[in-house]
């Protein structure tokens, strides 16, 4: 995959007077052009999502930070977002802040200097970033709202150009929808996703994402009700995701499970021996 010029890995891209983006060299089906690392600030710099533990990427962050990096924040601890924190800390002496949670197979282990709680503020040099807890993609996922320019760093809660995978049990569809709705109440000007370009009109985009999930939930509900027999995930997948290319079905099966879990919890469908049926 060839990334567009402004999403080339390793090249700092100035987004406004305070924020610079550096894309990590980990392009792929799940990561798009690569993970976005953001550098926030002027006299002091806060890094949001240092990315994978890639030496060239960490060096690019350190060079762009030029001795001013004081904090390293992670939106969550998945392997494409957080492992570079340790190497970057060793190189710069900056402190690491992340929300703690039981680690899954998708998480790296970090030794944070600060464990974030919902609505915590990270402040330095007159800057203020608020941790907005947004579980759903991961239970310890937070977005960070920069007060000065109302930019929300969304990690994997919202991506540009692709749909976020919800992978149970740490991923949870009900929590994900609730977390999206929570953003509608915030004063946000622009979304800075963990993958892809900035997203303007944030509230319109969040509303679109909620509707997209609810439409999918309805397709899943209909697939169960029309199956004619208790159906497995494998049986439901081609019906509920008939509009999604087959190459993505392995990932879609994870989000399908998340939808089925939610419908089961809601009491709309039943589940017995891995088979789902209407009530």
Q: Which residues contact 55 (CB under 8 A, 6 or more apart)?
A: 87
Q: How many residues bind Zn ion (CB under 5 A)?
A: 2
Q: Which residues contact 143 (CB under 8 A, 6 or more apart)?
A: 75, 131, 132, 134, 152, 153, 154, 155, 157, 183
The Cα–Cα gap between 200 and 193 comes to 11
Q: How is residue 7 annotated by DSSP?
A: G
Q: Which is nearer to Zn ion, 156 or 205 (CB)?
A: 156
Supply the minimum distance, in Å, between the C-beta of residue 111 and Zn ion.
20
User: Alpha-carbon distance 63 to 66, whole Å?
Assistant: 5
Q: How far apart are CB 243 and Zn ion at their closest, in Å?
A: 24
Q: Tokens 């939930």 sit at which residue?
A: 217
Q: Which stretch binds Zn ion (CB under 5 A): 84-92, 97-105, 155-163, 264-272?
A: 155-163
By CB under 5 A, residue 107 contacts Zn ion: no
CB of 261 to Zn ion, least distance (A): 18
For the packed helices 249-265 and 173-184, what is the interaxial angle rounded to 10 degrees? Answer: 90
Q: Which is nearer to Zn ion, 65 or 155 (CB)?
A: 155
Residue of 78, 89, 213, 259 that binds Zn ion (CB under 5 A): 78
Q: What angle do CA 204, 209, 215 make, to 5 degrees?
A: 125
168 close to 125: Cβ distance less than 8 angstroms: no
- Closest to Zn ion by CB, 78 vs 89, is 78
Nearest approach in angstroms of CB 78 to Zn ion is 3
Stretch that binds Zn ion, among 109-117, 126-134, 149-157, 204-212 (CB under 5 A): 149-157
Q: Which is nearer to Zn ion, 54 or 156 (CB)?
A: 156
CA distance 177 to 210: 6
| Segment lying near Zn ion (by CB under 5 A), choices 54-62, 82-90, 120-128, 153-161 | 153-161
CB of 81 to Zn ion, least distance (A): 6
Interface residue with Zn ion, options 49, 107, 156, 217 (CB under 5 A): 156
**Phi first, then psi: what are they for 205, rounded to 5°?**
-65, -40
Chain residues that interact with Zn ion, rule: CB under 5 A: 78, 156
């Amino acid at each position: 995959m060839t990334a567009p010029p402004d999403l080339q890995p390793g090249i700092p891209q100035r987004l406004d007077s305070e924020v610079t983006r550096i894309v990590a060299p980990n392009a792929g089906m799940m990561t798009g052009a690569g993970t976005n690392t953001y550098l926030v600030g002027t006299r002091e710099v806060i890094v949001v999502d240092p990315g994978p533990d890639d030496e060239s990427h960490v060096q690019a962050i350190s060079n762009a930070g030029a001795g001013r990096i004081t904090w390293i924040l992670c939106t969550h601890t998945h392997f494409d977002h957080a492992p570079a924190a340790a190497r970057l800390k060793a190189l710069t002496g900056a402190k690491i802040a992340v929300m703690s949670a039981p680690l899954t197979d998708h998480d790296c282990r970090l030794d944070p200097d600060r464990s974030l709680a919902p609505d915590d503020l990270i402040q330095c040099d007159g800057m203020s970033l608020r941790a907005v807890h947004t579980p759903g993609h991961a239970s310890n996922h937070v977005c960070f709202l920069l007060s000065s320019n109302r930019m929300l760093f969304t990690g994997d809660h919202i991506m540009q150009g692709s749909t976020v995978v919800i992978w149970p049990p740490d991923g949870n569809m009900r929590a994900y929808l609730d977390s999206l709705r929570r953003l509608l109440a915030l004063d946000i000007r622009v979304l800075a996703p963990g993958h892809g370009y900035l997203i303007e009109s944030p509230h319109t985009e969040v509303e679109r994402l909620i509707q997209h999930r609810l439409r999918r939930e309805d397709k899943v509900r209909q697939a169960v009700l029309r199956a004619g027999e208790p159906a497995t995930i494998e049986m439901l997948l081609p019906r509920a995701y008939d509009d999604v290319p087959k190459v993505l079905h392995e990932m879609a099966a994870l989000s399908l499970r998340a939808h089925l879990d939610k419908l089961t919890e809601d009491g709309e469908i039943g589940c017995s021996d891995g088979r789902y049926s209407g009530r």
